[in-house]
Chain A
Amino acid sequence: MRRWLPSPLLSASLLVMWLLLNQSMAPGHWLLGAVLGIVAPLLARPLQPHGHARIHRPLALFRLLWFSAIEIVRSCFNVSQIILLRRSADVNSQFIRVPLDLRSPHGLALLSCLINSTPGTVWVEIIPDSHELLLHVFDLHDEAWWVDTIKTRYEQPIIEVFEGPGTDATGERT
């Protein structure tokens, strides 16, 4: 089972993607989608040096995605307001540093996608020595608020999702 279906969630998503693409629930498409779901992860496995992501708490993941969706809509309106009403020189664009405890590569990938999808923030890089995230904020009011939001609203749930309750807050794998 593990050998042929290393990641059941990934296979199921591929099957759903196939059915959606073809807009059909015919048995033939179920079969083709199932073949895709089994073969594609096996073929792609050498491309993933960290292995397949294991999601420990799907519910926490959905809560995180829901929160980010609300955050994206909110910051969309903030950014549009700034573009429309403020002069470019008045906008306080700054780089900030956020110390990260998250170590899981899949978790970091998800965090970067969420941060970059939210208008007004762009992820620049992780500074290798101190493991700090360098972030560019479009209109900075309060640096401490940003650091706090990213650490409690994004990073903590992602650690829960990918590293599970068995690991401590520093992200060291046991």
Chain B
Amino acid sequence: MSALESLPWWAAIVTAFLLVLGGLITVLGTLGLARLQSFYQRIHGPAITITLGAGCILLASMLYFTVTQARLVIHELLISVFVLMTAPVVAMLIMRAGVYRDMRASRDEHDGDDVNSP
């Protein structure tokens, strides 16, 4: 509790704001997974979680520990760099798997005349 008590009010407000915003955005991303109908729409939901959601929470962490420990704590930057480097690759792999599955399914069903993918 001592670290929490030494936190000045302005830092507490900004940290809380960033945490709540990041949490809301993460919930929105998962809500997208539940609400959207097709596979190709659902893949766009988690994208906001990994960019802005994770970004807000990591910013809050950097601010909180920098202020309470009275030194620069920025190794969270590494987390965001690695997330931004790996998440797009996963998205691309899932997308291509989906496209090829649809192409094969439609070819099996009625020999060509693909509706979903060009």
Contacts and interface: CB of A to CB of B under 8 A. Distances in A.
| Dominant SS among interface residues on chain B | helix
A120 B47 contact: yes
Interface string B78-92: 100000110111011
Contacts of B25: 76, 80
Interface string A105-129: 0000000110111111011110000
Given A91-B41, A124-B95, A113 B84 contact: yes
Contact-residue size bin, chain B (C-beta under 8 Å from the other chain)? 35 or more
Contacts of B37: 88-89
A17 B78 contact: yes
A123 B92 contact: yes
Given A80-B48, A122-B95, A123-B95, A117 B88 contact: yes
| Range, interface on chain A | 20 to 34
Interface of A: 17, 20-21, 23, 72-73, 76, 79-80, 83-84, 88-89, 91, 93, 95, 97, 112-113, 115-120, 122-125, 134, 136, 138
Given A21-B78, A88-B41, A123-B95, 10 more contacts: A80-B48, A83-B35, A83-B36, A93-B41, A95-B117, A112-B92, A116-B89, A119-B48, A124-B92, A136-B40
24 contacts: A20-B75, A23-B73, A72-B51, A79-B32, A80-B25, A83-B32, A84-B28, A88-B35, A88-B38, A91-B36, A93-B38, A93-B40, A93-B41, A112-B88, A115-B88, A116-B87, A117-B87, A122-B91, A123-B88, A124-B92, A124-B95, A125-B96, A125-B99, A136-B95
